[in-house]
Amino acid sequence: MSGQNKFRVGSRKSELALIQTRHVISCLKQIYPDIEFDVVTMSTLGDQIIDIPLPKIGEKSLFTKELETALADGHVDFIVHSLKDLPTVLPVGMAIGAVLSRENPRDALVLQRDIKKHTLASLPEGSVIGTSSLRRTAQLAKKYPHLKVENIRGNLNTRLKKLDDLGKYHAIILASAGLVRIGWKNRISKMLDAQDFLYAVGQGAIAVECRADDEKTLKLLEPLYDLQTALRVIAERSFLKTLGGGCSAPVAVISDLKLVKDKEVKLTLKGAVWSLDGTEEIADEEETVVNVLSSIRCAECPYSNGELKIEDIECCMTCPMNNGVNEPSMKKQKLDIPNEMFENDPHEKLPVPMPIGSDFMGQCPFLEGTIQGAQNPHLSLTGDASSIAKLGLKFCPALKGLNSEKNNVNTVTIIEDDCLFVGLVPHRDATIDNLKKSKLLGENLALKLKERGALQVMTAAQAIVHGKVSSSTAVS
Positions annotated as catalytic residues are 85
Residues 6+ apart with CB under 8 A from 26: none
Q: What are phi and psi of 14, to 5 degrees?
A: -65, 155
Intra-chain end-to-end CA distance of the chain, in Å: 46
Rounded Cα distance, 139 and 270, in Å: 15
CA 49, 52, 56: angle at the middle one, nearest 5?
Answer: 105
Q: What are phi and psi of 355, to 5 degrees?
A: -80, 180
Sheet holding 251-261, edge to edge: 251-261, 264-274, 281-291
Contact predicate 64/358, CB 8 Å: no
CA 191, 196, 201: angle at the middle one, nearest 5?
Answer: 80
